Amino acid sequence: MIEGTPTQRPFFALFDHIMEKHNLKNDARLYEFFDKKMSRPDISKFRHRRKKMGAGHILLIHEKLGMPVADIRSFLEQE
């Protein structure tokens, strides 16, 4: 790492964090983990920054994981 360069989280760290914590191997398993309520195309669009995550998806993550909305938003702000 170059001195003075801020450390950045991996690309779309929120999904990576969820996948690591719940031992999910790929985005297909993430889709199933969310009971198919977050579409596969949406997961891909969020991961590749082609779509911003809206309140409905944030609420889904909060309800499924019990993760505070502030923590979810913190992950998203660092993307």
Residue holding tokens 């719940």? 22
Contact in structure between 32 and 19 (CB atoms under 8 Å): no
In the predicted structure, residue 58 carries a pLDDT above the cut 90: yes
Distance CA 7, CA 18 (A): 20
pTM, to two decimals: 0.78
In the predicted structure, residue 66 carries a pLDDT above the cut 70: yes
Q: What is the 3-state secondary structure (H, E, C) of 32-58?
A: HHCCCCCCHHHHHHHHCCCCCCCHHHH
The pair of three-digit structure tokens given for residue 6, joined into one six-digit string = 């801020």
Cα angle at 29 between 62 and 31, to 5 degrees?
Answer: 50
In the predicted structure, residue 56 carries a pLDDT above the cut 60: yes
At residue 48, the pLDDT reads: 85
